[in-house]
Structure 1
Amino acid sequence: MTQTIVQPEATAPLDRVLSGPRGPRKQQITMARIGIYGFLIIAALFFLTPLWVMLVTSLKTLPEIREGGNLFYWPREITFEPWVQAWSSACTGRDCRGLQPGFINSVKITAVATVVSILIAAINGYALSFWRYRYANLVFGILVFGAFVPYQVVIYPLVVAMREMGIFGTFPSIVIVHTIFGMPILTLLYRNFFSSLPPELFKAGRVDGAGFWQIFFRIMVPMAVPITVVAVILQLTGIWNDFLFGTIFAGRAHMPMTVQLNNIVQTTTGIREYNVHMAATMLTAAVPLAVYFISGKWFVRGIAAGAVKG
């Protein structure tokens, strides 16, 4: 007996299926899109204009600057002498060694204060997330409240406390101050990030017999890389750009780069060397600019990592 198999008719021709939409949809040019990009371009030019003025002025000679030409023009004769002078021989008060000593001081202060503040904040955030103790919410509220206290309000009490401890105007003094004022916001970041992690990770570590420090270093720290990058960027740029605390607590022997920049600009020896001033400003801002350009995408990823409950 012969069995006939009836093939079902195709719902659509094969060529029509194959010729369907492929790849991403083309973006249409609309007035709204033009307006958005126009606004972004104008905003970028607005913020980049001072940087351009500083750059071109630092590469000009003093005679060209005195001519009073357009500030935005590229120099007729490029010279790097203002940069060399700002780094090695510009006067920062009585000393004429440029920004080099301040750069070394800023590196030491930023490195130590960043590591100490991030380590303590990570431990605080971990303890507030998984090791709930009595009045934990109260302690967390006090820490967050500290982020909104104006620095100027507590400067005098800190000066008195440092004086009584005998460390005012020393390297530990400026490191302690930066650690204290970085603690609230960093603790908030770490606490929110650790709270977004699955609690099963913590419970599994406890079942395996791990204690407080084992869970922290073996489980939490490796997973906290995104938020640690955010914390490093915040602390590094904030401490490097600081002027007020460096003026008050660092002392003359540990004067950071920003304080020396102010001394270069304010020191008058008969001639205002604007090209040297601009070169010194660019040198001082070089580290934060490099950090933002290199790790900007990591900053966004780290912020987003703790924004949603996992």
Structure 2
Amino acid sequence: MTSTSIATPPATVPGRVTGPRHSVNRRSPAGRVVTYVLLLLFLVIVLMPAYVLVVTSFKSGREIGVTGQWTLPTHWTFASWDKAWTALAPSFTRTFELAIPVALISSFLGCANGFVLSRWRFPGADLVFTLILFGMFIPYQAVMIPLRQIVQTIGLPPGIPTLIFVHCVYGIPICTLIFRNYFATTVPVEIIEASRVDGAGLLRTFAWVILPIAVPGFVVTIIWQFTSAWNDYLFAIFLSNTSNGPITIALNALAGAQSPDYAASMAGALIASLPTLLVYIVLGRWFIGGLMAGSVKS
């Protein structure tokens, strides 16, 4: 009687993959070198204008020219920075008075609209949302003359008050879209239902339940609106002037003289871009997180 040996499967070790062994597709050292070289090349291309901007702002008048734009200044001077700050300081303060209220007011209105249109439905909500979004696709150039007539009819003071009103109105569509997507994909319906069971109405639910959990959306809209209002030039040139307008008007006046001072213009451009740059540096990671928070449904 012959004994038949029964083949037993090999013992599996936790964490070890059995079966045919496949080679892991890893990037070769040469591929990593090519990737880093390309990234470094793109970084240099992006930073070249910034280098010329910074270097030129510290040069004196006789050192500025096409042939010497890449060279470092022989004598570093802050005279151009002093000139630029003297010309831009009043408008620099006024631009903060514009950008901060615009960012806060339009974000709050967009949050309220997004909550009502996403979780507190009413007849015709989709039509209202479509009409609000339609404001995003109207070119600013097409409404400048009627907009100026409307502002004059309302009687708003020229300058910063008028620009605050206009930027808040034009910021509502994008803020509404961001908050509607955020509430529709991130905020559970059970939270709204629980507040209704507890007897909370629309306003109380919005104030005590929705606002505390809407911080990621506020980060996105505040950064967006602050940057848009700070960098705006088209509304500013139509609805204000150098004496009551934002920093973009003053920067254009500094750079558009008959004999422009290129060093002062570049120093002024750096001063004008510094607040938005700091906003993105400080809040950049929360900005990306806020955008992603409303992008997928958990």
CA distance in 1, matches of 2:291, 2:225: 14
Q: Which residue number in structure 1 is paired with residue 74 of structure 2?
A: 76
8 Å CA contact 2:241–2:249 kept in 1: the answer is no
8 Å CA contact 2:94–2:160 kept in 1: the answer is no
User: Does residue 1:177 correspond to 2:141, yes or no?
Assistant: no
Aligned CA RMSD, in angstroms, stands at: 2.2
User: Does residue 1:115 correspond to 2:114, yes or no?
Assistant: no
Deviations 1:81-114 (A, max 9, x none): 11011101xxxxxxxxx10011011000101111
User: Does residue 1:263 correspond to 2:253, yes or no?
Assistant: yes
Matched letter for residue 44 of structure 1: L
Q: Which residue number in structure 2 is paired with residue 92 of structure 1?
A: none
CA distance in 1, matches of 2:144, 2:12: 77
Deviations 1:179-219 (A, max 9, x none): 11111111000000011111001101111111112211211
User: Does residue 1:135 correspond to 2:134, yes or no?
Assistant: no
Matched letter for residue 74 of structure 2: R
8 Å CA contact 2:254–2:260 kept in 1: the answer is no
Identify unmatched segments of 5+ residues in structure 1: 1-9, 18-24, 89-97
Q: Which residue number in structure 2 is paired with residue 187 of structure 1?
A: 176
Matches within 5 A, 1:158-169: 158-167=147-156, 169=158
Q: Return closer, same or farther for 1:217/1:37 CA change in 2, 3 Å cut-off.
A: farther
Q: Which residue number in structure 2 is paired with residue 5 of structure 1?
A: none
Comparing 211-220 and 229-238, the one that deviates more = 211-220
Identity percentage over the alignment? 34
CA distance in 2, matches of 1:177, 1:132: 28
Matches within 5 A, 1:3-82: 28-30=27-29, 32-66=31-65, 68-82=66-80
Q: Which residue number in structure 2 is paired with residue 91 of structure 1?
A: none
Give the one of 266, 269, 287 matched to 2:275: 287
Identify unmatched segments of 5+ residues in structure 2: 1-9, 17-23
8 Å CA contact 2:97–2:160 kept in 1: the answer is no
Deviations 1:47-90 (A, max 9, x none): 22111111000011112225x543122212111111011101xx
Q: CA deviation at 1:11?
A: 5.6
8 Å CA contact 1:159–1:168 kept in 2: the answer is no
Q: CA deviation at 1:261?
A: 0.2
Matched letter for residue 253 of structure 2: N
Q: Return closer, same or farther for 1:180/1:273 CA change in 2, 3 Å cut-off.
A: same
- Normalised by the length of structure 2, the TM-score is 0.87
Q: How many residues align?
A: 279
